[in-house]
Structure 1
Amino acid sequence: MAQADTPHPSTPADIPGPPRLLTALLVTMAVQMVSTGGALALSTIAPIAAAALGVAPALVGFQVSLVYLAAAVTSVMAGGIVRRFGPARASQISMATFVIALPAFGSGSLPLMAAAALIAGFGYGLNNPAASQILIRVTPEGRRNTVFSLKQAGVPLGGVTAGLAFPAMAVALGWQSGLWLAALAPLALILVLQRLRPAWDADREPGARIAQDWMQGPRLTLREAPLRALGLLGLLYSMLQLSLSTFTVVMLVTEHGWSPVAAGSALALIQASGALGRVIWGFLADRLGAGFLVLAIVGAISGAGALAIGPAAAAGPGVQLALLCLIGNTTNGWNGVMLAEAARRAPTGLVGAVTGGVLILTFGGVVIGPAGFSAAQGLTGSYAATFALFGLVSLAGAAFAFRAHLANRR
């Protein structure tokens, strides 16, 4: 383990040491929290907003899919954007899209809300490539899974914040006012990032051509078998992950009689369990030195749990919530491990490009997941039955991850 603390070769001499790592981790996590909370904002108040708009609550799945469709497109260009403008500026651009999108989500106009989803998705797609470029410089090799998983804990923590804040603000202030007020959070982060730009963007390449480099990440991902495997796992696992975040509140309110605030609080607990899971599974991957094995374990538990959602509902709210928290713990546990594995295999200076290439496939699953869930739920008439179908997808991913683990051991 003596080499575990060796920094990445691209680490510049002016950004060393734990204090810089802590700053980088906290800020990138905050950016992730705000963007995830913004992307899921309407999901947490779907019954309330849908009633006001006169549409079916399940349609929120298409809004989430629009966000991640735009994020998938951005991921293709993200490596070039990060190289040209720097990771701090790229993160500021991301936050600026949510300053625009959140008030537009509260506009009450369906066309404007759809446009806002695409704007938010453009910003969301910049987050991980920029954060990976920042974190790889300051993270010792033996701690990468843990650090990247801590950063990715911002996804469920953003869900926790959204699940607690938006339903409460909808009841107290009205659903639109809460969305307008939330735009202050990304605005504050733009100011924080401005102070960090001199150090974080010091190695940017102003002459880098975004259009010329847009296929670099996908080419690298498709060329290397482990990177291809990581992208495919992201596609399969993200389908259940985003569906859990998007449809839990609607399922609990419409099928099980929970109040919107109670269902939002349940989602917050599920996301908190997910945040803890990201840290636990990332730490375990570092300890075992076997990222693909950990990815197989979390996929198997997630899939089995999704199959049990229907029977658990009959056992009472406590059992149902406990199971949903277990699924949240595992279905949120893979992202940091995947990103750390991708960064570890990336050529020096191309972490952002490789991350974007892997995330194209991941966002494909996010696009397919919520929209596919909405369509499947319309056919089955049951959220529990639809979750069971998505559990089978997660189990297929677990089998594939275990096969990749065995292949990488040879």
Structure 2
Amino acid sequence: MTTSNYATERETTEGRVFTVTGGDWDQVVASTDPINDERIVVNMGPQHPSTHGVLRLILELEGETVREARSVVGYLHTGIEKNLEYRNWVQGSTFVTRMDYLAPLFNETAYSLAVEKLLGIEEQITERATTIRVLMMELNRISSHLVWLATTGMELGAISIMLYGFREREYILDIFETITGLRMNHAYVRPGGVAQDVPDAAIAKIRDFLKMMPKKLKEYEDLLSGQPIWTERTKGVAVLDVTGCVALGVTGPVLRSAGLAWDLRKTMPYCGYETYEFDVPTHPDGDVWGRYQVRLAEIRESLKLVEQALDRLKPGPVMVADRKIAWPAQLAIGVDGMGNSLEHVAKIMGQSMESLIHHFKLVTEGFRVPPGQVYVGIESPRGELGVHAVSDGGTRPYRVHYREPSFVNLQALPAMAEGGLIADVIAGGASLDPVMGGCDR
């Protein structure tokens, strides 16, 4: 840019403020006449709580009534999808797990299913690996819904439920740590299977959790469902009927709370979900109360799925047999939390030159994926989580793009908020359960 052009630009923009979307904030404010129209423009967020982290809302108010609402996203942008193009296919699991950080195992599973479809090895995934994926995803669904319940309760003034929800979530994160070595961002589900087997200690913890959790759900309902303030803040609030959901592409519990039993685990099964017994909860009202009821019911259904998965865990490998694809690390949890098994290290370093070469190539280059493109969708705690993966035949993705439900569902916020009270914006936004790490990936 030349000096003269720069000066001209400074002259034209002096004293003006622009939003991250390119809209001129001065023009937004100037379009209202607070004296004659009695309307004001309020900048809500980005902050915690109330706007779920780094979501920004621009609200035009008439008194306490919302006349216009705009969502502004992008503050948490990480460039994860672009970063995938500079790492090999297996390393991608380490990136995608960080997008929707409340549902990392869903990010990993969707990505792995897409890579496996490109490789054409869907039928080679072992029964134990598939069962473990279902087990981990359903535990993750419960933990995600518990965070929703805890944070939504806090935002609506029910502080006690915040403590209850996070208490049980901690138990699930302890289970994840026992299995993967980490509480979040696991990179556990990988193309070809899972990183390591489920230890017996984790099985015992899960069975204890299955005995404990139904009583805890009863506590949540005793605390909230009959509470007059909770019902006033949720019933008939932020209504979005099934027509609006379908028009806006809304999926997950928000769609099911409007009466449509659309769940990819039933309608487009994957990971053998068609062989499990579970129901798809719905609610007819399409309001915040309905979303609360659906998510509690989904926790109960996930508990049933976890129990069935445990009963199906038969001994066997957890990674495909093809050593050109199978990640060679053979991780085992040790005193340092996680590391290579001593037997594997001894083999590649002292017994087999071929194993050492293979290990080195997989770690540095990864495997090649035939050219092509696929789309795989799974049912995450927030709705349809889809992966569009493109390969040019190399060892790294040409393009990976996620259809992220938090991003899509946020389109519904203006439809839910406009015409309602400013206090109900908080309830409606929370009921969408957006996670901005996924939205702004």
Q: TM-score, normalization: structure 2?
A: 0.30
More strand per residue: 1 or 2? 2
Q: Which has the higher contact order (CA 8 A, sep 6+)?
A: 1
Q: TM-score, normalization: structure 1?
A: 0.32
More helix per residue: 1 or 2? 1
